[in-house]
Structure 1
Amino acid sequence: MTRLTVQSGDFLQGEGEYRNGSLTLKSCSNPSSGEKIALSGISELIVANQESSRSLGSALGWGMAGALVAGPVGLLAGFWLGGKEEEVTFLATFKDGRKLMAITDSKTWSKLNTHWRRHAPLAANG
């Protein structure tokens, strides 16, 4: 998943996207298709909050799959292990002074953060 949800800042609230080293965010100047911003345009990127939650639908799916494979024990294991999701709220400060607070899943955050840290100036990584 490469989606993120803009919560506040200098961009319009709603859906955004991370893909191939760029964020696409809806702004006042480009509200329909969004503005594409390279991660190299970010001067600071930090985690504000990280939360684990359970998705009932996903837990049920994993439970049913576990039941098919290993019977009642698999059902319980599927319920216990399945449906865990982690959301990351992050803050980004752009080189042009704009700011962003957004939420995404942990996998997208990891990709975004890794790419930014690889390509950010050394001063930002310190």
Structure 2
Amino acid sequence: MANIQIHAGDFSKGKGTISANDMVFVMSTAWQAGDGFLGKSHTITRSEVEEVSLATEENVKRLGGTVGWGVAGAALLGPIGLLAGLLLGGKGKDVTFILKLKDGRKMLATTDSKTFTKIAAMAF
């Protein structure tokens, strides 16, 4: 299991865990009111994944519009130096990406490069 940090989108924001293989990944997100005592997990199959892409300023704007970028950039990611470090993956170990599902759900998240590779492979 790997760690995942969800920054924005249709899933609970915060730290969680993710387990991925060729056909499915299971993501346990940060606990929120209404998630029950043990929290909530999401199982996402290969057939549900529409697109996985590395986060850049351009595609983050498309994800949430100009307002979404302002919120994600200013409130969640902090100063420009931190934003650049997060978007570029910091030391090559972590990757910030956008996941879009066929049902319209999406998220901006960061995980390790090995887990990202498994998730990205599900889009093919």
Gaps of 5+ in 1: 54-84, 121-126
Task: Determine if the alignment matches structure 1 residue 112 to structure 2 residue 107.
Answer: no
For 1:41 and 1:25, the matched residues in 2 are separated by 17
Give the TM-score, by structure 1 length: 0.56
TM-score (normalised: structure 2): 0.57
- Partner of 2:3 in structure 1? 3
Quick check: 2:94–2:112 contact (8 Å CA) kept in 1? yes
Structure 2 gaps of 5+ residues are 56-86
* Aligned equivalent of 2:93: 86
**Aligned counterparts, 1:16-31, within 5 A:** 16-20=17-21, 21-26=24-29, 30=35
Please state which structure has a larger fraction of its residues in strand: 1
- Does residue 50 in structure 1 map to residue 88 in structure 2? yes
User: Is the 2:100–2:107 contact (alpha carbons within 8 Å) kept by the matching residues of 1?
Assistant: yes
> Who wins on radius of gyration, i.e. which is larger?
1
Runs of at least 4 residues of structure 1 off by over 2 A? 18-21, 25-31, 49-53
Residue identity in the other structure for 1:12: S
Over the aligned positions, Cα root-mean-square deviation in angstroms equals: 2.4
Greater relative contact order (CA < 8 Å, ≥ 6 in sequence): 2
- Paired with 1:16 and 1:94, the residues of 2 have a C-alpha distance of 19
Higher helix share: 1
- For the structure 1 residues 5 and 34, does the alpha-carbon distance in structure 2 shift closer, same or farther, using more than 3 Å as the test? same
Aligned length: 86
List per-residue Cα deviations over 1:38-94 (Å, max 9, x = no partner).
1321111100133233xxxxxxxxxxxxxxxxxxxxxxxxxxxxxxx5211000111
* Matching residue's letter, 2:51: E
